[in-house]
Amino acid sequence: MIVQEWPLIFFTLLVQGSVGTTVLLSLILLFAGHSLDQAQRRRFLLAPLIIAVVAGGCGLIASTLHLGYPLNAFNALRHFSSSWLSREIIFASLYLAAVGIAAVLALFLRKVCLPLLLVGSVLGLIDVYCMGAIYTHTTIATWTHLNTWFMFFGAVLSIGSAVGIWLSAKLNDKFRQRVTASALAVMTVSILVRLLEQMSYFSYLSQAKISQMVTFPHQPLVIFDQLRTLYFASWVLLLVGIALMGMSIYACKRRSMVVLGGCAVIVAEVLLRVVFFTLS
């Protein structure tokens, strides 16, 4: 089962990571960009923006693999008014177009277009919402909960923050510290909120197990119990990654800790997504 779901794992994480990178870039430029001149802003923006475009593009390609035949993606566009899948594809395409144009302007015209990045960020967040709605509107017991949206938006913030911290290493110390502190704050708050939400999620799962109303297949609940150890280990790895990135602000071997912490965060998000799609 999980082999068949790898395209969806790659699609959701690549697009969410791309959106997270774009959102973080937009917020940094909006609130702290005045401390950089045009050349510095472009130098800071260019690499992560290209990464966001490539990740988003690869994610969309991966999504067509799940549809079985790439041209099926065009057929899915015909039901925008009734299908969350159609809405997701359209907003993902609009997001990628906005970020792609911003990347072209920065790369060839040496122009940083913050309004276009902000528009792209909004489109990307709407796309992630539609992505979550696809799964909450199913009969899979472990998906039909707000936890799905918390996980998707949480991945946006954690992966985007990790990428932002990685790519701020070449900036001057003052601006790098501001970027790192801001990204860590966003990542920490988002993960704490996700952890608090887990109490509601586990309460929901407990009620679903004892419910006498068979309104959905109960097999995913059994599978979730079998994967509980992996699920908790993923959360521990996520917290370790944040701790390492936080310690990097004061550590001598800062770069190695940033890389190690960021890798831990991304691996944890991949494992959480593997658990999510194994439950189908």
CA 3 to the chain's CA centroid: 21
246-269 pLDDT, tens digit each: 887 776 667 788 889 999 999 999
User: What is the three-class DSSP state of 195?
Assistant: helix
How many Å apart are CA 108 and CA 193, to the nearest integer?
40
DSSP 79: G
Q: Which residue has the higher pLDDT, 205 or 99?
A: 99
pLDDT for the residue 151: 95
Closest residue by Cα to residue 194 from 96, 269, 136, 249 = 269
d(CA 145, CA 157): 20
pLDDT value of residue 213: 47
pLDDT in tens, 136-164: 988 888 888 999 999 999 999 999 999 88
Cβ of 93: how many Cβ atoms within 10 Å? 16
pLDDT on residue 6: 84
pLDDT single digits (tens) 171-209: 667 777 777 888 888 899 999 999 999 999 888 888 877
CB-based contact 155:267 (threshold 8 Å) = no
Dihedral (Cα; 27, 51, 163, 35), 10-degree rounding: -40
Write down the pLDDT at residue 75. Answer: 59
Q: In terms of pLDDT, which residue wins out, 222 or 212?
A: 222
Q: What's the rounded mean pLDDT across residues 262-278?
A: 93
Which tens digits make up the pLDDT trace of 4-35? 678 889 999 999 999 999 998 898 888 776 77
| CA–CA distances in Å: residue 261 to residues 162, 180, 198, 255, 265 | 8, 13, 23, 10, 6
- Give dist(CA 191, CA 188) in Å, integer: 5
Say which residue, 100 or 221, is predicted with more confidence: 100
Are the C-beta atoms of 205 and 66 separated by less than 8 Å?
A: no
